């Protein structure tokens, strides 16, 4: 394929950054050039705010049905162009092509969902204490919304932010990741090709200065971000100066609890998928497995077998089920966590090193899916997010009460997702209700559902995406209290 070249999208116009800065995007599997992207700064954000302010005046007064029609056309175009977008995503990010297609297809589904949800926003006529008073409560858009999207799921999480913001009538300025901006660029084109008015959506791959300007700009009413906890704290500090509404989906450290009556094979398969999908680079990845000691030997062996069955290679190859990590920093942290855990007494069951791959590939970014067993609770991997293909197994006493198991699972600062596997649904459900996280999966390894809210507790952030809550998070309420001169008889 020929190299892709993308510019900044400012209000629908594709333009170079004012600094002229350009970065090369390389395939993490091969090191080959995939394309180039302009890199925006604070001055480019200012340009986008001007365009977005004009666009908001048009879009916020566009009837909800018309907004929905444009968004539905955009989703249809995404579906039509999925092969091109998925190919770019796999080459710039590394995940296998089926996973890229799944991500993009779900992104289109999110856009369709919010197109319809935007038609269903309801106000209300409230009861009053006086016969000559009427109280009308309505939902209104916020204005210009800023969004920050990470590199691990750049298209999917783009849709999570843009879908509800547009459906609510806001204009949006997005800072996508500089590591993976190419598929996102094609995603944006679908909106303008569908008839989105100028100024309504801007897309600026940018340096730190661009993100800082988004969160501090006085004419941006809200900011929504998926980022590290450290970045989320910086956004909060900056946004506080202008009292922006802030929605943050931050780091995670998800426990996967295997009760003594669980189906070992099914639980191991589910844990391995959620541990090693996208090379572990996912906020709701399984980071630590807490397993009943009575079944731990069988379970640990089963998870290790699942890990060893993953075929690593270039994601374009249809036989490949696992790709490279996206950045070298992922492997550095994985090695640090593995070394510290082993030094603390953990046993390495599988992986733990760079993988042997085809000579045409870039070996320094391929890492074997790693299973650590008998990991002590104070090991780094048990409370720090690796964000890589490493999972730690800790064994708990089979006679532990639900409160004791929950206390073990709730250790740490994060609360994004938790998982429980067990055949006794009453017991599994009872444990789920004791877990301190925004989402809990019982006998499933995914807590995201399009029609339900997604978000974290504790240091994993606040605010919710997806579901009706995602739409209302992009809106504000207005109360109009009316005095009627002549009360009804």
Instruction: Give the residue numbers annotated as catalytic, written as ranges.
Output: 249, 283
- Separation of alpha carbons 218 and 69, rounded Å: 31
* Contact call for residues 239 and 463 (beta carbons, < 8 A): no
Q: b/e string for 138-156 if b means 16 or more Cβ within 10 A?
A: ebebbbbbbbbbbbbbbbb
The whole-angstrom separation of Cα 8 and Cα 2 is 20
Closest of 291, 223, 270, 306 to residue 447, by C-alpha:
270
CB 315 within 8 A of CB 100: yes
Token pair of 2 as six digits: 């020929």
Which sign does the torsion angle of CA 11, 75, 186, 227 carry? positive
Degrees, nearest 5: CA angle 63-66-67: 85
Distance in angstroms (rounded) separating the CA atoms of residues 3 and 88 = 10
End-to-end CA distance of the chain: 76
Q: Alpha carbon of 214 to those of 42, 210, 223, 242: distances in Å?
A: 8, 6, 8, 11
How many CB atoms sit inside 10 A of residue 408's CB? 17
How crowded is residue 5: how many other Cβ atoms within 10 Å of its Cβ? 14
DSSP conformation letters of 348-366: EEE--SBPP--TTS-GGG-
Give CA–CA dist 439/452, Å, rounded: 10
In the numeric block, the tokens 């997806």 are attached to 466
What does the DSSP assignment read for 287-315?
A: EEEEEEGGGHHHHHHHHHHHHHT--BS-T
**Alpha-carbon distance 407 to 397, whole Å?**
13
SS3 308: helix
- Three-state DSSP at 323 gives coil
H or E stretch covering 371: strand 370-373
Q: In 3D, which of 62, 38, 40 has the Cα closest to residue 199?
A: 62
H/E element, 265: helix 264-276
Q: How far apart are CA 171 and CA 141, in angstroms?
A: 9
**What residues pair up with 441 in beta bridges, in sequence order?**
419
- Torsion sign (Cα): 213, 190, 249, 27: negative
């Amino acid at each position: 394929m020929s190299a892709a070249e993308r510019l900044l999208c400012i209000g629908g116009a594709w333009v170079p950054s004012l600094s002229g800065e350009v970065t090369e995007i390389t395939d993490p599997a091969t090191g080959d050039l995939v394309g180039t992207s302009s890199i925006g700064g604070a001055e480019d954000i200012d340009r986008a705010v001007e365009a977005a302010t004009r666009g908001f005046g048009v879009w916020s007064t566009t009837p909800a049905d018309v907004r929905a029609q444009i968004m539905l056309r955009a989703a249809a175009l995404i579906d039509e162009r999925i092969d091109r977008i998925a190919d770019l995503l796999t080459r710039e990010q590394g995940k296998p092509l089926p996973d890229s297609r799944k991500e993009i297809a779900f992104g289109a589904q999110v856009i369709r969902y919010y197109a319809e949800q935007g038609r269903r926003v309801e106000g209300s006529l409230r009861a009053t204490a006086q016969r000559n008073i009427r109280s009308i409560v309505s939902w209104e858009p916020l204005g210009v919304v800023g969004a920050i999207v990470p590199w691990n799921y750049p298209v999917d999480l783009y849709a999570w932010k843009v879908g509800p913001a547009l459906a609510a009538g806001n204009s949006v300025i997005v800072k996508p990741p500089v590591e993976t901006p190419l598929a996102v660029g094609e995603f944006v084109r679908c909106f303008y090709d569908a008839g989105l008015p100028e100024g309504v959506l801007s897309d600026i791959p940018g340096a730190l200065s661009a993100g800082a300007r988004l969160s501090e700009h006085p004419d941006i009413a809200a900011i929504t971000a998926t980022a590290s906890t450290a970045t989320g704290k910086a956004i909060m500090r900056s946004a506080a100066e202008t009292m922006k509404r802030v929605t943050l989906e931050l780091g995670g450290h998800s426990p996967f609890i295997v009760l003594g009556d669980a189906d070992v094979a099914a639980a191991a398969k589910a844990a391995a998928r959620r541990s090693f999908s996208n090379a572990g680079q996912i906020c709701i990845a399984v980071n630590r497995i807490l397993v009943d000691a009575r079944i731990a030997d069988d379970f640990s062996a089963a998870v290790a077998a699942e890990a060893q069955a993953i075929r690593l290679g270039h994601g374009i190859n249809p036989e490949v089920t696992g790709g490279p990590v996206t950045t070298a920093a992922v492997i550095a942290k994985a090695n640090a966590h593995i070394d510290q855990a082993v030094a603390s007494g953990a046993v390495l069951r599988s992986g733990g090193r760079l993988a042997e791959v085809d000579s045409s590939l870039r070996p320094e970014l391929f890492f074997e899916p790693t299973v650590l067993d008998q990991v002590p609770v104070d090991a780094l991997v048990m409370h720090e997010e690796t964000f890589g293909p490493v999972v730690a197994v800790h064994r708990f006493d089979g006679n532990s009460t639900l409160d004791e198991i929950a206390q073990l699972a709730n250790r740490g600062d994060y609360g994004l997702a938790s998982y429980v596997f067990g055949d006794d649904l009453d017991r599994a459900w009872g444990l789920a209700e004791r877990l301190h996280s925004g989402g809990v999966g019982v006998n499933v390894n995914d807590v995201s559902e399009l029609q339900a809210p997604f978000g974290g507790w504790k240091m994993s952030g606040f605010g919710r995406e997806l579901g009706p809550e995602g739409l209302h998070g992009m809106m504000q309420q207005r109360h109009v209290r009316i005095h009627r001169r002549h009360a009804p008889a």
